[in-house]
Amino acid sequence: MSQPIKVALTGAAGQIGYAMLFRIASGGLFGPDQPVKLGLLEITPALGALNGTLMELEDCAFPLLQGVTATDNAEEAFADADWVVLVGGLPRKEGMSRADLIRANGPIFTGQGKAINAAAPKARVLVVANPCNTNCLIARSHAPNVPAERWFAMTRLDENRAKAQLAQKAGVGVGDVSRMTIWGNHSDTQYPDYKNALISGRPATDVITDRSWLSETFIPTVAKRGGAVIKARGASSAASAANAALDCVRSCHVPTRGDDWHSVAVASDGNPYGIPGGLMYSFPVRSIEGEVCAIVPDLHLDDDARSRVDASAGELEQEREAVKDLLGPAL
């Protein structure tokens, strides 16, 4: 058997954490032959609840699980991790604005960035906690030992939502939708790019000819799906977010097959689309052997698409401005 892969997870007693842990430990992330270790971080008051989750993990007797650390000390949880998934933070509640969330969650990521820098400089890091793009930027800015290409913020849930909507409209399975890009921020300004997507290998716009549905229903349905789930469920997306986090880590970890790509926010510096540097911006990305995630170049963006991708970059610049006092030296 190969060496275990260590995944560190923050917010491990929360709803997304609970929906992720058992799948990681059972082989649902890296496959049935890959042993794993877990490093779980929670705030002190949640350690009791986390202990209950640990008891359940034990009771599952997962053969692949080769060790678990559960702690309120970030460096201990992150030590020597291969992947750190930052989920811990306040979820958005009904009526809570994005600005409220940015100021509430931002400070968590200064400390966690420093802890990753000290304890897990070889890790790759996925930020799920919202506002995930900007939280990722904050953490990255405090981790000079961890190169920019090792940082990711999650837009995979948006990608999955977009694929599901297109598949439903076209009457095909979700597996028939490929090349689905989410551009920009994990927020209402994101641009789910149906114009470069394929359905059963054909341009999505050839298969779905209802243009007004694509621009007036599809885009807002995807972009506002998180709010719709909160309204219906009384709580933010959890199982689907956990599933997307696993999809995202797997897609970044394993070379991309065929001519498909996936969406994830990466450092925007030097990108081929003229998006300003110094942001964590979601692009179409291909994972290449040797752990590199490369932005797919040369996609056509018409005027409408261009104004949407620029608007989302503008929002990310505003978010960066709102947290500039929290940014560290590594940007």
Between residues 129 and 207, which has the closer beta carbon with respect to ligand NAI?
129
CB of 3 to ligand NAI, least distance (A): 27
- Binding residues for substrate are 92, 98, 130, 161
Note whether 192 binds ligand NAI by CB under 6 A.
no
Which residues, 96 to 125, sit near ligand NAI by CB under 6 A? 108
Point out which span in 8-16, 166-174, 254-262, 308-316 binds ligand NAI (CB under 6 A): 8-16
Note whether 287 binds ligand NAI by CB under 6 A.
no
Contact with ligand NAI (CB under 6 A) among 89, 106, 284, 328: 89
Point out which span in 89-97, 293-301, 303-311, 319-327 binds ligand NAI (CB under 6 A): 89-97
> What residue type is assigned to position 188 of the chain?
D
**Of these residues, 186, 253, 262, 300, which one is catalytic?**
186
> φ, ψ for residue 112 (rounded to 5)?
-70, -35
Cα separation, 190 vs 167, in Å, equals 20
CB of 69 to ligand NAI, least distance (A): 14
Between residues 95 and 258, which has the closer beta carbon with respect to ligand NAI?
95
Cα separation, 252 vs 236, in Å, equals 25
Note whether 179 binds ligand NAI by CB under 6 A.
no
Residue with the two structure tokens 């930020």: 127
CB of 238 to ligand NAI, least distance (A): 5
Which residues, 195 to 254, sit near ligand NAI by CB under 6 A? 236-238, 241
Contact with ligand NAI (CB under 6 A) among 91, 192, 284, 328: 91
Between residues 11 and 328, which has the closer beta carbon with respect to ligand NAI?
11
Note whether 133 binds ligand NAI by CB under 6 A.
no
Q: How far is CA 301 from CA 92, 110, 180, 218, 282, in A?
A: 32, 35, 14, 18, 15
Between residues 11 and 113, which has the closer beta carbon with respect to ligand NAI?
11
- Binding residues are 11-17, 92, 98, 105, 112, 128-130, 161
Q: Please give the structure tokens belonging to residue 313.
A: 């970059």
Query: In the annotation, is 262 catalytic?
Result: no
Give, as one character, the DSSP assignment of residue 198: E
E runs forming strands in 87-204: 124-127, 151-153, 177-178, 181-183, 191-193, 198-199, 202-203
Q: Count the residues in the chain.
A: 331
Note whether 185 binds ligand NAI by CB under 6 A.
no
With beta carbons less than 8 A apart as the criterion, state whether 152 and 252 touch: yes
* Residue 279, C-beta contacts closer than 8 angstroms, at least 6 positions apart: 133, 137, 267, 268, 313, 316, 317, 320
Q: At what angle do helices 156-170 and 239-253 cross, to 10 degrees?
A: 100
> φ, ψ for residue 25 (rounded to 5)?
-70, -25
The set of catalytic residues is: 186
Kindly list the residues in this chain that would bind ligand NAI in the complex (CB under 6 A): 10-11, 13-17, 41-43, 46, 87-92, 108, 128-130, 132, 154, 157, 186, 236-238, 241
